[in-house]
């Protein structure tokens, strides 16, 4: 792996999500933001790199709809790691020259999907009710947008909040939110509260809860707090005990925490691509005895399709839906997606799970997302 072309001292809380620093920092988040460990099993021997031979010859319309080979596309779209699993076995992988597949890589909003699975497990154990009001678990939401919402509305992103998801914001509400998580440097003249207090200060938006899909990251940070209160444990420990060790994750994962230790359930988890493939295969195999088959089947149900059609991500999957922080594409696939190019893609028909971890320059690139979807489908069809 080539040496980085900048000094470690050059990477700061102000620039760690920007190229070129992100190519290093996305695998070293705990050096930038305080993080809690999510222990894995540490019991399996990792196999060496496999390469892309099993996928040789596949072609698809890449960026700007131009025909692209898989290897060229992975480089072009700033991929760090790719792992392809078929019927529970890794058949292909790829790493960028600067990337280390053994290091946990930040997965941004794929964290939301892992949080959704953890919630399903806790609900199976009778510790959490999706039908309950949020206030049962977090009374502090009184007076906020969340005061009259249910847990299920929170996990389906159907909360009406006065908050804009603006990843490039440098001076507004989203930037202040990031400061509350510990992800941005503090402003002495305008200090942000801790994450819980920030969330409980968000006001209600127009309309009622449950009417439309409105993707807002603070919802999932609140969901992490709900899970802690419901199960009586810390987020990292709950994730380790109920999901990470259960799937046989070989490496420890991590999750960033704010100044008082509140986990960033919405986007702060780092994990290896191979361990994430195990999580994807858990979903492909309908829960594998770890989370109930009924909960997994509900992810595919499309029962919130109307709210999705009224929402703000329709362009991504026009026939899709969203349930418990997982995307259902409307074409027989399920996906977990994070900014800067993080993906878990699951297609049961071909028994395939694909994990793509990246350090894409832009947080969101709709045209590139569609090219990545074409790549995923080409891989599954190979």
Phi, psi (5° rounding) for residue 235? -55, -50
Clarify whether 109 is annotated catalytic: yes
HSE (side-chain half, CA atoms, 13 Å) at 317: 24
- For residue 141 the two structure tokens come to 């939401």
- State the catalytic residue, choosing from 25, 109, 113, 160: 109
Per the CB < 8 A criterion, the answer to whether 47 and 217 are in contact is: no
The Cα-based distances of 327 to 17, 240, 324 in angstroms read 24, 23, 9
- For residue 52 the two structure tokens come to 């892309």
- For residue 220, give the nearest of 342, 113, 124 by alpha carbon: 113
* Euclidean distance between CA atoms 269 and 107, whole angstroms: 6
Per the CB < 8 A criterion, the answer to whether 200 and 27 are in contact is: no
Contact partners, residue 48, CB within 8 Å, separation at least 6: none
Q: Quick one: the chain helix, strand, coil %, rounded to 5?
A: 35, 15, 50
Per the CB < 8 A criterion, the answer to whether 340 and 333 are in contact is: no
Phi, psi (5° rounding) for residue 253? -100, 180
Residue with tokens 């969340």: 146
Residues 202-213 as b/e (b if ≥16 CB within 10 A, e otherwise) read bebbeeebeebb
Per the CB < 8 A criterion, the answer to whether 210 and 158 are in contact is: yes
Give strand pairing partners of 346.
Answer: 334, 353
Dihedral of CA 302/308/310/315: which sign?
negative
Contact partners, residue 227, CB within 8 Å, separation at least 6: 115, 118, 119, 122, 128, 235, 238, 265
Per the CB < 8 A criterion, the answer to whether 86 and 352 are in contact is: yes
Q: Which positions are catalytic?
A: 109
């Amino acid at each position: 792996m080539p040496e980085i072309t900048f000094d470690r001292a050059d990477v700061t809380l102000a620039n760690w999500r920007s190229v070129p620093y992100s190519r290093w920092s996305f695998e070293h988040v705990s050096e930038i933001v305080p993080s809690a460990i999510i222990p894995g099993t540490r019991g399996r021997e990792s196999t060496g790199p496999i390469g892309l031979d099993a996928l040789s010859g596949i072609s698809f319309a890449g960026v700007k709809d131009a025909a692209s080979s898989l290897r060229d596309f992975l480089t072009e779209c700033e991929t760090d790691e790719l792992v392809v699993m078929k019927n529970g076995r890794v058949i292909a992988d790829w790493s960028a020259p600067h990337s280390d597949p053994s290091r946990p890589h930040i997965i941004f909003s794929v964290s939301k999907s892992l949080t959704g699975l953890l919630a399903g497990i806790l609900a199976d154990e009778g510790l959490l009710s999706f039908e309950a009001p949020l206030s049962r678990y977090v009374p502090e939401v009184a007076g906020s947008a969340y005061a009259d919402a249910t847990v299920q509305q929170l996990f389906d992103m159907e909360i009406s909040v006065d908050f804009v998801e603006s990843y490039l914001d440098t001076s507004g509400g989203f930037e202040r939110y990031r400061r509350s998580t510990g992800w941005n440097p503090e402003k002495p003249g305008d200090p942000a509260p801790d994450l819980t207090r920030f969330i409980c200060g968000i006001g209600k938006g127009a309309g009622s809860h449950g009417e439309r899909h409105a993707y807002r990251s603070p919802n999932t940070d609140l969901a992490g707090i709900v899970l802690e209160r419901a199960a009586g444990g810390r987020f990292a420990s709950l994730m380790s005990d109920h999901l990470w060790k259960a799937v046989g994750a070989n490496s420890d994962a991590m999750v960033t925490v704010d100044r008082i230790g509140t986990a960033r359930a919405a986007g702060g988890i780092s994990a290896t691509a191979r361990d994430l493939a195990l999580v994807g295969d858990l979903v492909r195999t309908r829960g594998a005895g770890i989370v109930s088959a009924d909960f997994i089947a509900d992810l595919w149900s499309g029962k919130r399709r109307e709210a999705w059609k009224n929402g703000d991500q329709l362009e991504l999957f026009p026939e899709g839906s969203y349930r418990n922080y997982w995307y259902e594409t409307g074409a027989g696939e399920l996906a977990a997606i994070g900014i800067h190019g993080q993906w878990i893609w699951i297609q049961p028909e071909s028994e395939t799970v694909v994990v793509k971890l990246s350090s894409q320059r832009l947080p969101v690139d709709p045209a590139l997302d569609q090219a990545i979807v074409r790549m995923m489908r080409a891989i599954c069809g190979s």
